[in-house]
Structures are given as C-alpha cells and as structure tokens.
Amino acid sequence: MKHRYLPMTEQDKQEMLDVIGVSSIDALFEDIPEQVRFKGMYDIKPAKSEAALMKELAQMAAKNKDTAANVSFLGAGVYNHYKPIIVDHVISRSEFYTAYTPYQPEISQGELQAIFEFQTMIAELTGMDLANSSLYDGGTALAEAGMLAAGHTRRKKIIISETVHPEYRDVVRTYAHGQSIEVVVAPQKNGVTDVQALEEMIDDTTAAVMVQYPNFFGQVEDIKTIGEVAHANKALFVVSANPLALGILTPPGKLGADITVGDAQPFGIAESFGGPHCGYFAVTKKLMRKVPGRLVGETIDEEGRRGYVLTLQAREQHIRRDKATSNICSNQALLALAASVAMTALGKEGVREMATQNIVKTRYAKEAFEKAGFEVAYQGAHFNEIVVKAQKDITTINKGLIEKGIIGGFDLGRVDEKLQNHALIAVTEIRTKEEIDAFVAEMGALHA
C-alpha cells in the first residue's frame, strides 16, 4: 500500500531508542517531575485509516464556499482575478517550490533570474527606479515603508489616510509602536483623503504621508496633489498601489511618490483564504540602500556570461542588527515568481486590457445598482470596487446571497460604525454581465 507519509513501526521506534541509549519512551521524560506530567487522555478522535480520513476531510472541505463553485463579489484587498494556467505549471516545478534563499549564485541562477524579472516588472509598473525581491504582503510592505521614512528623515510621525485599508493601518501601528513612532490618521471626505485636513495636520515632525491608490473604497486618489503637500513639508510620500490598476492609471513614480508598495496578489496568486501573498516594495534611487530585504542584480562572470547575484542585502543576517534596514522582512520568491509568470503571460497589452475590464465592469455594476434603487456612496473615479448602501444589515444579506451561490461584498460596518449597512463590492474582469445582473437582482430582493 502506498502512503503519503511513511508510518513509524514498532521496530523503527525500538531502533531509535537503542541508538539514543534508553529503554522506553517514558525514560526520555524521567527528568520531568512526575507531578507536572500529563496523565490523562488527549481529547482527540481515535485514529482512522487513510481512506476513511481522506473521506472525512473531503466532506469537511466541501462545506467551504469557495470561488470555484460560487460567484464572488468580495474584494477588500484580496481579489478573484483571472490566473493564466501556466502560472501553476511553472511554480509547481520542484526547482522553484523547494528553493530557499539564493545565497549561492552559482547554483541559484534560475531563482535569481526569476526574482530579477519580478523586480524589473514591478519597477516598470510603478514608475519607480527599482524594486526589491518582495516582502510578505501589502500590509507589511506599507509598514516597512513607514519605518524607512522615519529612519531616513529622522522624524517620528506618520500620517496615514483613513482611506487606506484598515488592516494595513493596523500593521503600520504595530510596527510603529516598537519604534516609538506616532501614527496619525488623516480623515476622508467623500471617499477620498481630505487634503485640506491633511495640510493642517502635517508639520516638520512628519516623516511620511501614506495613501492608497486606488484606495480601500475603490476611489482613485489625487496622489499628485497629496504628494506635493508631503514634499512641501519635507516628508516622504508613500503610495500603496494595486499593481493591476497601474496597468491603466498613471504610475505613482510619475506623480511624485518616493516609495510605492502593494500586494502582487492580483497577478496569478490565489486568494487562499487571505494568504500567503507577496508584497512588493519600490523606491527612488536615493533610497536604494535603505530598502528592506534584498535586491538581485545583473552582472557578468569572468568568462563574460550574464549572471545574477544578490546585490544588496541589508538584513540582520548579513550586517549588524542595529544597522539592518529591517529585522523581520523576508522575500516571497515562489509567489513573486507566480506574479512574474502571470505578468509575462498577459503582456503589457494584456495587463492594460485586464485593468480596463475591471473599470468597465465595475461601472456597469454601479449603474445597475443605481437603476435598482440602491445608493452608491461615492461618485468619484473608481477602480474595481464600489460602496453600495442597503436598507438591511449586510451580513444578513450576505447569508441570503450565499444560498444562491453568490459571495457578497465586504460588510464595511465591521470596520467603521458610520458605514453600517454599506457593502464594499468588487467586480473583476472575470465577472460576466449575467452574473452582475443576477447579483443586483438578488441584492434587491434581499434588501427590500
């Protein structure tokens, strides 16, 4: 019989005990006082055969409401996008999915080149001078940007817009707490950052101004004006951007951003219940040596052949801990590879077309909701998401929708009491007109 895992026999156990030099398992624990040892039985089910266990797990998994069997309008940071089939084929190759940090370039050229391609494409998308080899996710990338800004400016205050994802704001606060950095929230007005309020809050102690583009509500911020406000006070301007949206929106680097970060999940990375994902981090050249994580560079070997190496590694593993750019960052090479494969498969025109489809279909959904009598909260330029107000609790509506095979929008009342009965609805390029129409009709029936 084939086993996914090799079972341990009594003979295996005895051989290990003999090598260790003890007579029994109990003898291994004789140094632990008898009175603190656990004597009862663990509250777990009796062991099952592999076949019976697999059947039980399959039945449990079937209870999940996934995006393969249901139509999803849930976004709020993690999106149901088209993923080219080649992505899983490439990242399933053992030389990629078993690879670790490429410390030895002579045997890691494939992974190093893949990371270099990721950096290059992110830099081009964002309009920045360079990008690192990735971070954990969009939230930690934004927090790392705040720490970089504080260190670079030697200032102790960060202003972050209320329109930035609430979970991202929480991560920034967590990082800032350990560095004794103050985090101040600039209020939103009509779904975008209140620039006038921001101007009144910023001062010569501000290290960075942080905004999201498009923001948490799907609205497109005027980042050029916000960047000018930041720079007028000698603060760094940090933009957390959806990389797919940059296929059609003006890149932050062209509008004055010093640091552009985000999550590469829209490109070929599955939702996976919220992770793991892949954060990107791009900067202007002047900040190159303060970037957290690693940079892969292109070089030539002694025989004149092109090669790839880790160029900058300002992590605590490589230099003194107090001099490190970050003590808790790591790269997500496999998921960065997934994003690179997706972007390559789509190509420049494909990325632009995919972004355009998100705008067109979201616009169609907005108009359909308005025709059905719903109030769409914000009317500015938007991408991918809209905020729709209902007459009933969104969680209750979503329970009704799931019975119809529809995963509804995010209940904004969970993160802001002022937005009770408001749903953040995501419409991506894979949603059809028929699915959108059915969703609006079901929402109308449930909220009446």
Q: HEC string of 213-259?
A: ECCCCCECCCHHHHHHHHHHCCCEEEEEECCCHHHCCCCHHHHCCCE
156 and 137 inside one domain: yes
- Confidence class of residue 323 from pLDDT cuts 50, 70 and 90? low
* Predicted pLDDT of residue 302: 86
3-state secondary structure of 376: strand
Confidence of residue 98 (pLDDT cuts 50, 70, 90): confident
In a domain, 91, yes or no: yes
Between CA 357 and CA 409 the distance in angstroms is 19
Tell me the CA distances in angstroms from 349 to 126, 226, 299, 355, 399, one per residue in order: 16, 29, 30, 10, 39
Number of domains in the chain: 2
Beta bridge partners of 300: 306
Q: Are residues 303 and 177 in the same domain?
A: yes
pLDDT value, residue 319 = 54
Q: Between helices 166-178 and 138-153, what is the axis angle to 10°?
A: 40
List all residues 6 or more positions away from 419 whose beta carbon is below 8 Å from its beta carbon: 377, 387, 412, 413
Write down which residue in 342, 375, 408 finishes a domain.
Answer: 342
Classify residue 66: in a domain, yes or no: no
> What rounded mean pLDDT belongs to the chain?
92
Say what the pTM is. 0.89
**Is there a contact between 238 and 142 (Cβ–Cβ < 8 Å)?**
yes
Q: Average of pLDDT values for 3-22?
A: 85
Domain shared by 338 and 360, yes or no: no
393 falls within a domain: yes
Residues 417, 311 share a domain: no
pLDDT band (50, 70, 90) for residue 275: confident
Of the listed ranges 232-246, 316-330, 360-374, the one predicted with least confidence: 316-330
Query: How many Å apart are CA 271 and CA 79, to the nearest integer?
Result: 6
More confident residue, 100 or 224: 224
d(CA 354, CA 82): 9
Q: CATH code at 395?
A: 3.90.1150.10
Is 322 in the same domain as 368? no
Task: Give the model's pLDDT for residue 273.
Answer: 85
Q: Determine the Cα–Cα distance for residues 226 and 224; give it in Å rounded to an integer.
A: 6
Instruction: Answer yes or no: do 334 and 283 share one domain.
Output: yes
- 87-96 pLDDT, tens digit per residue, is 999 999 988 8
pLDDT over threshold 90, residue 8: no
- 1-5, 202-206, 226-230: the lowest-pLDDT one: 1-5
pLDDT-derived band at 270 (thresholds 50, 70, 90) equals very high
What is the pLDDT averaged over residues 278-307? 91
Q: What is the pLDDT of residues 412-439, one digit of tens each?
A: 999 999 999 999 999 999 999 999 999 9
Q: Identify whether residues 211 and 286 lie together within a single domain.
A: yes
Q: What 3-state DSSP class applies to 315?
A: strand
pLDDT band at 50 (very low <50, low <70, confident <90, very high): confident
- Domain ranges, residue 231: 86-342
Query: Which CATH number is 193's domain given?
Result: 3.40.640.10
Clarify whether residues 360 and 335 are in a common domain. no
Q: Look up residue 203 and give its two tokens.
A: 């001062």
Do residue 284 and residue 142 come from a single domain? yes
Which residue, 309, 342, 375, sits at the end of a domain?
Answer: 342
Residue 223, φ and ψ in degrees, nearest 5:
-75, -25
- With respect to residue 258, please indicate whether it lies within any of the assigned structural domains: yes
pLDDT confidence tier of residue 128, bands split at 50, 70 and 90: very high
Q: At residue 1, does pLDDT exceed 70?
A: no
Q: What is the reported pLDDT for 325?
A: 65
Q: Please give the Cα distance from 279 to 128 (Å, whole number).
A: 15
Percent of the chain with pLDDT over 90: 74
Query: Does 37 fall in a domain?
Result: no
The answer to whether residue 18 sits within a structural domain is no
Instruction: Tell me what pLDDT residue 186 has.
Output: 98
Q: Is the pLDDT of residue 322 over 70?
A: no
- 387 has a pLDDT exceeding 80: yes
Same domain, 227 and 306: yes
Query: What percent of the chain has a predicted confidence (pLDDT) above 70?
Result: 95
Q: What is the gyration radius of the CA atoms in the chain, in angstroms? A: 25
